[in-house]
A and B are shown apart, each in its own frame.
Chain A
Amino acid sequence: MNRMYTDDPKNRTEEFFSIASSMKQNYSTNKTKNDNTIKNSKTKKNEFFQITSQIGKQIHLTCLKLSDLSKLAKSTSLYNDPTHQIQILTHEIKEEIQTLNRQLESVEILASHNTGKQNRQTTQHTNQIVGSLKGQLANTTQSFQGVLRERTENLKKQQERRSKFMDNSSFFFSANNNTSSRKISYAMDESKTNSTNLGFDIDIIENTNNNFNSQNSLQTVSYRESRVNVVEDIEKTIHEIGTIFSRLANLIQNQDTQIEWIDQNVDETLENIEQGERELRKYSESIGSNRWLIFKIFAILIVFILIFVLIM
């Protein structure tokens, strides 16, 4: 207030601006309250579509990163090893895939919550969207797997070439070779897996890559460190086994409902067939007892035909 009198008694623009901004804020809060009540019915659907579009964009970005990674992995020069970048990229892609997985699962749950209030077409639409996103994510993870496999094969070839040129203190190589070849062979055994199952395979392939990288540095690992590493590996394997078990339990539980359906259908079939058999039996009895009626009816018909012939 004092400032206004000392600087310029008639210049009250600042006060005007402050009042205008405060009024604007009030107005916008009132407006949002009204809009919330109107939009409440549509927010849920819009949320769903927003989230799905976000997921789609993320999948696209992950695909771009994956193409970069595949280019890096294919580089076969002996000395210019982009190992560091490859590791960073692999880590990023793996994390993104995991977050996308989780987001997709939450979207599925959201969609199943919403199906009560929507008509059949919107449920179909949402289900199709979720299905296509899942398919895209599965494709991305599979191509990621393929890139990691290429990378491990590349590393093997590099190692062989190196051993031809340099003196090989190779006990690390052969000791790790057994574990890594085992682990690659599990990854190869995978045939029909959806995106949720691919999570642990990627862990296995990453371990082989990390093994190769560590042996490339050719350091002598101390006794204690080697024991710690082995125990950590064992812990990881146990954890993975735990996750596999829980997935198995999930699958079997889901198949339970199908078994109940089958049971119901077969029971219905049995009932229907028994009833049909009863009807047929009644029918055959009625046919059998009807003979005399048929004779009488035929007799009447013949009488009618005779009358018609006589008239004609």
Chain B
Amino acid sequence: MKILSLCLYQWRGNNITEPKLLASAYELSSFGFFKRKTVQEWCVFISDTLVKRTNESQRQSVKENDYLCHVHNRFDNLACVAVCDSEYTPRVAFALLNKVMDDFSELYGNKLGKLEEYPFEQIGQLLTKFQDPNQVDKLSKIQRTLDETTIVLQDTIEKVLERGEKLENLVDRSEVLSMQSKQFYKTAKKHNSCCIIC
């Protein structure tokens, strides 16, 4: 469950210009040292191609060998690609893409196309943060807490049932106690009234 690369492009949706890579981050520690450069180039190549092939305001998930690539081409000329392995939940990947583009447009909203360099440090941080989707995805966190609550509640119900049994037990025993104490009282009274001599 990991993301290999995260690339942010600026692209106007026509086939004339090439998408411009604004920021990217890579997590290639699972590859050997000499392979990393090739893998990085491959990621960039795939991201480029995908951005060119996605229409405006469209999300796509493409399977390539063992990897799933999620691309989101937004309406404000931004496009973001995440190359993840096949186990990564696409919902979380798209959430990541949204977050990257939102942060970027917050930072550089109306200056797109005017500056040369767009230093965007957070992309690396977001990549590492989103490596574990279970931690980040709020919906699955909610689901998990709810499931834990159901477990706890089921335990509670079992214990309440046991408590019910014990209460019934107590009811019976207290009834027996009360009868016996009544007998005790009656015999004591009987002793008092009749057997004066012996």
Contacts and interface: CB of A to CB of B under 8 A. Distances in A.
B38 to A, nearest CB: 25
A276 B89 contact: no
A272 B181 CA distance: 6
B90 A226 contact: yes
Contacts of B175: 265
Contacts of B88: 171
Contacts of B191: 279-280, 283
A175 B89 contact: yes
A284 B154 CA distance: 58
B146 A238 contact: yes
Interface in B153-198: 153-154, 156-158, 160-161, 163-164, 167-168, 170-171, 174-175, 177-178, 181-182, 184-185, 188-189, 191-192, 196-197
A268 B182 CA distance: 9
A272 B178 contact: yes
Nearest to A233: B143
Contacts of B63: 169
A251 B178 contact: no
Given A230-B140, A279-B188, A268 B178 contact: yes
Contacts of B36: none
A182 B185 contact: no
Contacts of A231: 139
Contacts of A29: none
Contacts of B147: 182-183, 186, 237
Nearest to B151: A186
Contacts of A275: 185, 188
* Among B139, B150, B197: residue with most chain A CB under 10 A: B150
A238 B89 CA distance: 23
Contacts of A255: 160, 163-164, 167
Contact-size category for A: 35 or more
A169 to B, nearest CB: 6
Interface in B59-73: 59, 61, 63, 68
Contacts of B139: 227, 230-231, 234
Contacts of B89: 171, 175
Interface in B67-91: 68, 86-91
Given A269-B181, A286-B192, A251 B87 contact: no
Contacts of A170: 86-87
B149 interface: yes
A290 B178 contact: no
Nearest to A238: B146
Nearest to B165: A192
A223 interface: yes
Given A186-B150, A189-B154, A273 B184 contact: yes
B185 A273 contact: yes
Contacts of A240: 150
B142 interface: yes
6 contacts: A244-B154, A245-B153, A258-B171, A262-B171, A266-B174, A266-B177
Interface of A: 169-171, 174-175, 179, 182-183, 186, 189-192, 197, 220, 222-223, 226-227, 230-231, 233-234, 237-238, 240-241, 244-245, 247-248, 251-252, 254-255, 258-259, 261-262, 265-266, 268-269, 272-273, 275-277, 279-280, 282-283, 286, 290, 294, 297
Given A170-B86, A237-B146, A255-B164, 4 more contacts: A171-B87, A226-B91, A251-B157, A280-B188
